[in-house]
Amino acid sequence: MAIQQQPWQAGGSLADVSVLMKEQQLLMKEQQMLLLERDDKAKQEMEAKLAEQKQEMEAKMEAKLGEMAPREAVSGQQIEALTARLEAVHGAKLLSDDELFAVEDCVADFIEAQASYDVVTMEAVNANRALGKVHKLVALGEGMPSDAMFARQLRRKFV
């Protein structure tokens, strides 16, 4: 039985060594390509994860900013509802013209004072008498279902 010599062993031909080196170079290139592909995949996964975390952080920041934004104590819709209710109460003869005019003056004072604020907050309501009066008017209007009861409280508190 003859023993075959490997190309790296003594007596191997130069061509055998050359083939072996080419095969080794090909293997190294394949390994490099695999490493690069794996690195690219890991990089893409990391970028996707970072983008997801960024979106989550932005959503949290928006939520926090929403919580921190000043809350309006009296809205334009509430003023509209109040004035409509006042007209209805006056139309039902539960308020005299003078009583209606006195309450309308409170609403006009509110609108004038409101122009000085970006948002009418509870702090502004507590600091400004005109804002505070209309805040109370709105609360009474929303809390009292009976027009007669509402009219009586208007006379008692605001006329």
- In a shared domain, residues 36 and 64: yes
Residue 141: per-residue pLDDT: 93
| CB-CB contact of 75 with 93 (8 Å) | no
The yes-or-no verdict on residue 20 having pLDDT over 60 is yes
- Overall number of domains in the chain: 2
Residue 108: per-residue pLDDT: 95
- In a shared domain, residues 56 and 34: yes
- What is the residue whose two structure tokens read 């006009």? 108
Residue 129: per-residue pLDDT: 93
- In a shared domain, residues 53 and 92: no
CB-based contacts of 78: which residues, under 8 Å, 6+ apart? Answer: 138, 142
How far apart (Å, rounded) are the C-alpha atoms in residues 100 and 22? Answer: 102
What single DSSP character describes residue 4?
A: P
Domain-located, residue 59: yes
- In a shared domain, residues 124 and 94: yes
- In a shared domain, residues 39 and 91: no
Q: What are the angstrom distances between the C-alpha of 103 and each of 2, 24, 128?
A: 120, 96, 17
Domain-located, residue 95: yes
Tell me: the pLDDT tens digits for 42-72? 888 888 888 898 898 888 888 877 777 788 9
0.75 exceeded by pTM: no
- In a shared domain, residues 84 and 148: yes
Tell me: the pLDDT tens digits for 120-159? 999 999 999 999 999 999 999 999 999 999 999 999 998 8
DSSP 45-109: HHHHHHHHHHHHHHHHHHHHHHHHSPPPSS-HHHHHHHHHHHHHHHHTTSS-HHHHHHHHHHHHH
- In a shared domain, residues 55 and 102: no
Domain carrying residue 56: 13-69
What single DSSP character describes residue 9?
A: S
The yes-or-no verdict on residue 22 having pLDDT over 60 is yes
- In a shared domain, residues 105 and 47: no
Tell me: the pLDDT tens digits for 100-125? 999 999 999 999 999 988 889 999 99
Domain-located, residue 142: yes
